[in-house]
Structure 1
Amino acid sequence: MKNYIYILTFLSTIGNFQSCSTPSTEKEEIVIIDTVEVEIDSSAYIYAINVDSMTVEQNVVKRNQSLADILTASNVEYKEIFKLANNAKPVFDVRRLKVGKDYTLLFTNDSISKLNYFIYQEDPINYVVFDLIDSCNVYRGEKPVEIVKKEVASDIQLSLYQSLIDLDESPALVNELADVFAWQIDFFHIQKGDAFKVVFYEKEVDGTVVGIDHIEAALFTHQGKDYYAFDYNYNGKKEYFDEFGNSLRKEFLKAPLHFSRISSSFSRKRFHPVQKRYKAHLGTDYAAPIGTPIHSVGDGEIVAAQYSKYNGNYVKVRHNSVYTTQYLHMSKIKKGIRRGVKIKQGDIIGYVGKTGLATGAHLCYRFWKNGKQVDPRRQEIPSSDPLPDSVVQEYQEIIMPIKLELDKVDLITSN
């Protein structure tokens, strides 16, 4: 790709350039003579700065290392560091340099080797530039992001995560797929032989994948049943629908946690590990690290948020006159979660722990229907409203070529 820069040839009444610490107070009179289009080498640019005549050093922030530590090691005076920190306040808190984050130093390529720029990379896309040339200016920038369309398909032998990793795909795609099918698929009960196909758009920076832009369409085959999902914007709201225009969103999520394993399925009889006797286990246990966020499976009102000897820290949610859910053994209840508080589906209500009668870190999830405790995985949960009939025909015309593309994606069979 060719890049061009427009160079202005001009005359100026003042010829000397001012440093960071000594900003000019005089006015320059500039007279433009001509404009020339020049092809440039984009490889000579880093963070939109021409580094052709500079020395580039790259490093990572070390433990207990501050901005002052980095800059003083590059012979920057304290008065300039103070000015940079002060100028940065509206843009970036210099006290928030994080261990392991990348930074770049740009020096003059001469015997003096003076530092011109310090660039802190907040994440793969966003960065902060500390300009020591232009009056200690501090500003934010973003690396160009390329959106790349991809297709992937595979059967599952061990887990969805492992299948995607084996295909050299980003783990972020696992999260996106789980979010799309959060109401249809119990990802804690994926079976060998389940399969998926996905058409999606990936974010790339400098040729490296940095995230998933969105999933356009997906097909997940679980326990012999096909589940389709198509991205569709209805009334200004992005949502996923099946091939018939039914919303994938339901009244309850399939599970209150993301990506853990179920350690004890719902059972009327289970050997209790603490009480050393067989008793009904009217709940589903999810083994997960302490501190893992717990999400309410549906909209509702908090009817209990407290501690008890056996349940430990727990939260109980009444969703409507039919359904109630309960979440036990939390390490802590989220701040603000108390009796009478209204919550939305997916809201965090607490964190996994092992309080009360528990041998290890896990969540015990309980589900009531009409006052009777039942297995949530066996319940037929109501769906959200489908697309209106007046829209369905247009919707199906839009998704038809996408569905054909999805169906044609070759399924890779794992060894």
Structure 2
Amino acid sequence: MKLRVYALLFALVLIVSCSKETKEDDTPIAEPEPTPQLEYGYDLNDYLVLRDTVSSGDTFGAILDANGVTQNIIYQIATTYKDSFDVRKLVVGKPFTILKSKDSLEQTQVFIYEKNRVEYVVIDLRDEISLTNMAKPVTMKTKEASGVITSSLYETMVENDLSPYMSDRLATIYAWTINFFKIQAGDRFRVVYTERFINDSISVGLGDIQAAYFEHKGRELYAFKFYPEDGDEKISADFYDEEANNLRRAFLQSPLKFGRLSSRYNLKRRIAYYGNKVRPHKGTDFAAPVGTEILATADGTVTKSERRGGNGNYVKIRHNGTYETQYLHMRSRNVKVGDYVRQGDVIGWIGMTGNTAGPHVCYRFWKNGKQVDPFLQDLPASEPLAEQYHNEYYTLYAAIEGPIGLYSVLT
């Protein structure tokens, strides 16, 4: 009898125990909240996400139509927001993202198009349609770089894993003081600059050059960007040397940023084709590929812009009562008579019009009505930095450490 009772009690314990285990097993386990995936101002966890790039032949309308957006809505977007986003100008290769609802309808709710790595446009189709031009947060980092010229400035940048745009920036800064057609192997540079980053890790291009040093033919050339803190409207942000002299001159060294000096001004030049007779060359030729931009070497007014005889397409500019310049053999011209141009403006493009054996620009320079060699002229410089700003200027750049400092020498 006792054995039966014990057996029943043991069975009851087992039943109760199993019952508890079953109840515990049936209790649902709460899923952890997903980590927010924030992008473009949206939590991507809330949507079905489609990422793609614009392909050849794609149009804004075709992309949205393929994703269930009606033609009426497409037309409404194209017309209502045409001033802030031209839907006809989608660029092949640019990425776009479509956010769809997480239900059986999978309805397109947001269209995002990246204009570049920083700027993008958001078209929200939920409720009332809205379009917003946005930009990703960008941070600036100060960096330093240096190099020794091996062949060209551009190739040296590539060899040192620097942006090729750096060569363009340096050429612009030193356009008045260095003839980049004559830089030599062994010339060297050092530069302090800012670089733009997204998420502190993805580079989206150069910012500003803050200071630079260039050693050319043994000559040390400093450049420090400066703008006074008081924001004097009479002072523009510009580059000055170690003595606070403006690097700008009245004329650029060359009408091209890059190319090759192919023929100098030479009044005693002899040409075999003409029986070695003296045929004076009163211009300075700069060779470069067809289509290279030709720049006005100084401010002035266009007095000639035409095609004529051996000059081909050419432009002539009067800068003041003393100086004029002329640019020959252009493929095409970018200015007309009466236009006022600023130093560095594109006035045309390298070509082979007129009497020329290859693509180049023949640059001619007049002083007091007489053609002269531009490289032999003592051309005026811009005004130096006003003395009232010297303390601020020297304090700012004396603090830069290393070879680029105002009182240091590159070793």
Q: Normalising by the residue count of structure 1, what TM-score does the alignment of the two structures yield?
A: 0.81
The 3-state SS of whatever aligns with 2:332 is: strand
| Structure 1 residues 18-45: Cα deviation after superposition (integer angstroms, max 9, x where no partner) | xxxxxxxxxxxxxxxxxxxxx9957x12
Larger strand percent = 1
Runs (5+) with no aligned partner, structure 1: 1-38
Separation of aligned partners in 2, 1:324 and 1:403? 43
Separation of aligned partners in 1, 2:305 and 2:252? 21
Separation of aligned partners in 2, 1:195 and 1:239? 22
Separation of aligned partners in 1, 2:183 and 2:141? 29
239-248 or 47-56, which deviates more: 47-56
Separation of aligned partners in 2, 1:301 and 1:254? 19
Taking a change above 3 Å as real, the CA distance of residues 171 and 40 of structure 1, as seen in their structure-2 partners, is: farther
Q: Choose which of 110, 117, 139 in structure 2 pairs with 1:117.
A: 110
Answer yes or no: is 1:91 the counterpart of 2:68.
Answer: no
Answer yes or no: is 1:332 the counterpart of 2:326.
Answer: no
Answer yes or no: is 1:260 the counterpart of 2:271.
Answer: no
Aligned pairs for 1:13-32 (under 5 A) are: none
Q: Choose which of 344, 352, 363 in structure 2 pairs with 1:354.
A: 352
Which residue is equivalent to 1:54? 47
Q: Contact 1:290 / 1:353 at 8 angstroms: preserved in 2?
A: yes
The 3-state SS of whatever aligns with 1:303 is: strand
The 3-state SS of whatever aligns with 1:151 is: strand
Which residue is equivalent to 1:219? 213
| Structure 1 residues 236-285: Cα deviation after superposition (integer angstroms, max 9, x where no partner) | 42111111110111101111122233333444456769979663332222
One-letter amino acid of the counterpart of residue 250, structure 1: R
| Structure 1 residues 368-410: Cα deviation after superposition (integer angstroms, max 9, x where no partner) | 2333333323333211111233332332222211265624999
Q: Contact 2:34 / 2:45 at 8 angstroms: preserved in 1?
A: no
One-letter amino acid of the counterpart of residue 62, structure 2: D
Which residue is equivalent to 2:13? none
Separation of aligned partners in 2, 1:276 and 1:202? 57
| Structure 1 residues 180-216: Cα deviation after superposition (integer angstroms, max 9, x where no partner) | 1111111222111110000111112243322222111
Answer yes or no: is 1:301 the counterpart of 2:294.
Answer: no
Instruction: Report how many residues are paired.
Output: 371
Separation of aligned partners in 1, 2:369 and 2:296? 19
Q: Contact 2:403 / 2:410 at 8 angstroms: preserved in 1?
A: no
Aligned pairs for 1:287-326 (under 5 A) are: 287-326=287-326
The 3-state SS of whatever aligns with 1:72 is: helix
The 3-state SS of whatever aligns with 1:231 is: strand
The 3-state SS of whatever aligns with 1:310 is: helix
403-412 or 65-74, which deviates more: 403-412
Separation of aligned partners in 1, 2:142 and 2:399? 15
Q: Between the two proteins, what is the percent identity of the paired residues? A: 39
Which residue is equivalent to 1:240? 239
Which residue is equivalent to 2:198? 205
Separation of aligned partners in 2, 1:341 and 1:185? 28
Q: Choose which of 157, 160, 167 in structure 1 pairs with 2:160.
A: 167
Answer yes or no: is 1:194 the counterpart of 2:187.
Answer: yes
Separation of aligned partners in 2, 1:275 and 1:138? 68
Which residue is equivalent to 1:380? 378
Which residue is equivalent to 1:26? none
257-266 or 379-388, which deviates more: 257-266
The 3-state SS of whatever aligns with 1:128 is: strand
1:137 Cα offset (Å): 1.3
Separation of aligned partners in 2, 1:109 and 1:166? 49
1:364 Cα offset (Å): 1.3
176-185 or 285-294, which deviates more: 285-294
Q: CA RMSD in A?
A: 2.7
1:169 Cα offset (Å): 1.5
Separation of aligned partners in 2, 1:164 and 1:276? 45
Taking a change above 3 Å as real, the CA distance of residues 119 and 260 of structure 1, as seen in their structure-2 partners, is: farther
Which residue is equivalent to 1:4? none
The 3-state SS of whatever aligns with 2:92 is: coil
